[in-house]
Amino acid sequence: MDPISKAFKSLAPKAEVFHLLDDSLSKDHAKAKTLTPLMMERFEDLTTYALKTGSQAILFTCSAFGVAIEACAKNRAEPILKPNEAMFDEALDMGERTKRLRAVLVATFEPSIGSMKEEFMEMAKSRGIDVDFTGLFVPEAMKELGEGDAQSHHQRVAKAVATAPECDVIMLAQFSMAEAQALSQTQTTTPVLTSPSCAVKAIMKRLTS
């Protein structure tokens, strides 16, 4: 929650932000190794609750549940955004001229790589961009962050970024990785993108357009 709060404070300080947290969803997804119908229902419940509070838009911040988020957004007027849409758009912009892109996704939550790759490749296809995609998983980093050892988390992420193959863009998958961006960028000349800033800009644009 902290990375998205900081992004809103920096980029849209007048926005009223509140958080709904179900931290068991990622754990249940990891155990099941798939998105179950019950998980889909839980996302619908979260969406309904958030809209009942008077929210004008919803930004989900876990990257492993794209299908569930799309289902929640269907037939609703309010913007309901997947966490990485804006980051993916910005990354794909880098391949717009040549219609080719070498992209690396670095993740601390391994199940998100498959779903995010699928989403990214679908977006690339719709824009006619040929993508060479590489996913890198950083083991133990999420555990360290959960235990309060942010510095070790950032260092692990930065080391993973340093091992990335030659590419045009590097994306940090989880919102919780945002504060590792600065250290990661010191390890490469390739642009390192994070979701929070891109997402905040996108959601505010949707609300004001």
Domain span holding position 178: 85-194
Residues 108 and 174 in one domain: yes
Give yes or no: residues 92 and 74 share one domain: no
pLDDT band at 66 (very low <50, low <70, confident <90, very high): confident
Read off the pLDDT of residues 109-143 as tens digits, 9 standing for 90 and up. Answer: 998 899 889 989 999 999 999 999 999 999 999 99
Residue whose C-alpha is closest to residue 191's, from 166, 173, 157, 168: 168
Residue pLDDT, tens place only, 8-36: 999 999 999 999 999 899 889 989 988 99
Residues 106 and 187 in one domain: yes
Task: Count up the domains in the chain and report the number.
Answer: 2
Share of the chain above pLDDT 70, in %: 100
- Co-location of 62 and 121 in the same domain: no
CA angle in degrees (0–180, nearest 5) for 24-28-30: 120
On whether both 70 and 93 belong to a single domain, the answer is no
Strand partners, 104: 134, 170
Same domain, 69 and 13: yes
